Amino acid sequence: MLKTDVLDMKGKKVSDIELSEAVFGVEVNEIVVHEALVNFLANQRQGTQSTKTRAEVRGGGKKPWRQKGTGRARQGSIRAPQWIKGGIALGPKPRSYRYTIPKKVRALAIKSVLTSKLSEGNIVVVDKIEMKNIKTAEMVKTLKNLKAEKALIMLNEKNLNVQASSRNIKNVKTTLVNTINVYDLLKYEKLVIDVQAVKSLEEVYA
């Protein structure tokens, strides 16, 4: 089993915690991490871009000039792609970029990133993350105490005071155990997680 310190919100060590090697001690698979990251980014794409074809552009029902005898190239419509304000040939249309990857692949990617963060000393385990009131300044002070000013705060369940206190802090985001993704884990340098969230992670991914 792996061991790491458990801190309080003032940054002082209060105990140790054993971490599951099945979650925090796996062999890092960079290929799977990349696959999960690309999948996440693809699923964020809206795919709403759209252009009009020659059939959808207004006008152009009449042949602009007769076929022969004018000395100009033959034209059938002023809405053909080569005309100004004509339709777009092979332009983008609304589509979905969403696709899925196997759950085991996604889980391995998350475990690989967690393992990497732990080995680099970028996981900060806190005994309990809580705020009595919504105070951004208090959260800033707490993260400074934890030496995690660019951090992803992972909670076991929703906590309005914690989430609201951190939402306006630059380079800080809160997430839940059941909504974590590879992108957020990679984006933020530190992972601040409470003991209960660690146990939930191990239940889900071990």
Same domain? For 106 and 39 the reply is yes
- pLDDT for 103 equals 94
Distances (CA, A) of 89 to 50, 54, 97: 12, 8, 21
Shared-domain flag, residues 150 and 169: yes
Residue 75 and residue 28 share a domain: no
pLDDT tens per residue across span 25-59 = 999 999 999 999 999 999 999 999 999 999 999 98
Q: How many domains would you assign to the chain?
A: 2
Question: Could you tell me if 126 and 71 lie in one domain?
Answer: no
For residues 45 and 96, what is the distance between their CA atoms, to the nearest angstrom?
8
**Using alpha carbons only, how large is the chain's radius of gyration in Å?**
27
Shared domain check, 106 and 178 = yes
In Å, how far are 10, 38, 43, 61, 115 from 176, measured between CA atoms? Answer: 22, 21, 19, 57, 18
CATH of the domain at 194: 3.40.1370.10
Domain boundary among the residues 75, 96, 117 is at 96
Are 64 and 146 contained in the same domain? no
Domain around 149: 2-45+100-205
**pLDDT, tens only, 64-89:** 999 999 999 999 999 999 999 999 99
Instruction: Give the C-alpha separation, 65 to 68, whole Å.
Output: 9
Residues 18 and 92 in one domain: no
Percent of the chain with pLDDT strictly greater than 70? 100
Asked whether residue 28 falls in the same domain as residue 58, the answer is no
